[in-house]
Amino acid sequence: MLFLLINRTRPGLSAAQFGELAALAKTFYAAVPADVKIRGEWAAVDYSQNFSLLEAPDLATVQQLQAPFEPYTETTIVPVAEIKGWTAS
């Protein structure tokens, strides 16, 4: 399944919390689970939010991956389907 993650850093984080967030991200990217594929990542031009398209077995897997980031980010997870023209694939 495909999932679009929309992440916005929580306002008011301290420098130490930003450091913790960066450490979490490094850990995640160093060991992406074998059953999860990052299909693409983008950031808003003003860096106010970022977007990740993940392929994962199910919503529970994505929620588990996102859980450590919860203190630092506000995240919306949207299950999505690829479309071609006006037809879902």
Query: Would you give the end-to-end CA distance of the chain in angstroms?
Result: 12
The β-bridge partners of 37 are 55
Radius of gyration of the chain (CA): 14
The DSSP H or E segment spanning 79 is strand 73-80
Q: Which domains does the chain have, with CATH numbers?
A: 2-88 (3.30.70.1060)
Question: How does pLDDT run across 57-81, given as a tens digit for each residue?
Answer: 999 999 999 999 999 999 999 999 9
Question: How does pLDDT run across 26-61, given as a tens digit for each residue?
Answer: 999 999 999 999 999 999 998 889 999 999 999 999
